[in-house]
Structure 1
């Protein structure tokens, strides 16, 4: 049986392009799933903090944050957010920067590692991104994160204990160290089969092409091995 293609994704749940990239990957996967010999894929999300110095309770909106963080004029930030909102809409996402509560994301990353250990990482990643970008929910405080964890079927007490003890903080730091080793400076960043890097929120077709090409080569390699 052919070994699945591995896709390791470095992202931050507070990265608007990461959610768009996630959706585009999912659309690419849907397209190849209809193939007669559909590629099999294993996806793992990894932690990347875009702004680790951000306070849990940031005083201001997203425009305030980006204007201060990037030193850009407010008008330019507003135009940039409008552009991202339009790209997100094309991916089927309704971004609400007017509701967004900017926060530190390290606890959200710890929760993702807890969810991974419980077999719910994909559901947790989707819930956190949706909560942050489309619902204006706070994703930096333990109480709020526990509520979101329960929504995807995780145990509230165990999730709280994991966050309060920082049990999964070393796993977050390990992901970040691996990102540095790969030379990843921006997200989303997709590492396919541990050797091919795809940077940014590429369109669905880009993922389709890579997956079909790799799966085809893998099949050819196995055929050659069997013939020997």
Structure 2
């Protein structure tokens, strides 16, 4: 059997471009899935904290956070959020920055690693990002994360144990160390087949094209790929 194309995604669930990038990746792969020889793709999410110094309970809204954290004028922050909201809408996402509860995301990343053990990482990533950007749910406290884990189909008790014990913190740190080795300085960042790095929330067509190209190369025997000598 032909090995699947591996796409490793470094992201933070509190990164607005990461949710857009996730949706664009999914839409791009869905477009290729209808091909006669559809690419087989395996997607894995990895941890990246944009603001690890953020408190679990931040006193203020998203404008307050960005204005203070990045030193940007509030008017500029509001314009930036309006632009991101528009891009998200084009991807089928309804961002609600007015509801968003900014928080530390390390426990959410631990939960994603727990979900990966249960073969439910994709469902958990979707639940966390939707809860954060669309529903205004808190994704930094253990009690809230356990509720979201249950909503994603995971065992609440097992999720709580994993979070309270910090059992997956080393996995989060390993992802971050790998990101540093790759030289990743911003997310989303996609590593495709361990060879190609793609930065930013690329359009769906970009993911469709690269997966089709790589899959075609996999299906072409090496001897057929060579040009006969004259």
Given the two structures, how large is their TM-score scaled by the length of structure 1?
A: 0.97
Pairing 1:118–2:112 present: no
Q: CA deviation at 1:223?
A: 6.8
Task: Give the paired residue count.
Answer: 225
Residue in structure 2 matched with residue 88 of structure 1 by the alignment: 88
CA deviation digits over 1:87-129, x for unaligned, max 9? 0000000000000000000000000000000111000000000
Distance 2:100 2:222 in 1: 49
Residue in structure 1 matched with residue 136 of structure 2 by the alignment: 136
Q: Compute the RMSD of aligned alpha carbons.
A: 1.0
CA deviation digits over 1:33-80, x for unaligned, max 9? 111110000000000000000000000000000000000000000000
Structure 2 residues without counterparts, runs of 5 or longer:
226-230
Q: CA deviation at 1:152?
A: 1.1
Residue in structure 1 matched with residue 189 of structure 2 by the alignment: 189
Pairing 1:38–2:52 present: no
Structure 1 residues without counterparts, runs of 5 or longer:
none
Distance 1:222 1:7 in 2: 23
Q: Cα gap change, 1:114/1:80 in structure 2, threshold over 3 Å: closer, same or farther? A: same
Given the two structures, how large is their TM-score scaled by the length of structure 2?
A: 0.96
Residue in structure 2 matched with residue 14 of structure 1 by the alignment: 14
Residue in structure 1 matched with residue 228 of structure 2 by the alignment: none
Corresponding residue SS for 1:8: strand
Distance 1:94 1:221 in 2: 45
Pairing 1:146–2:146 present: yes
Corresponding residue SS for 2:56: coil
Residue in structure 1 matched with residue 99 of structure 2 by the alignment: 99
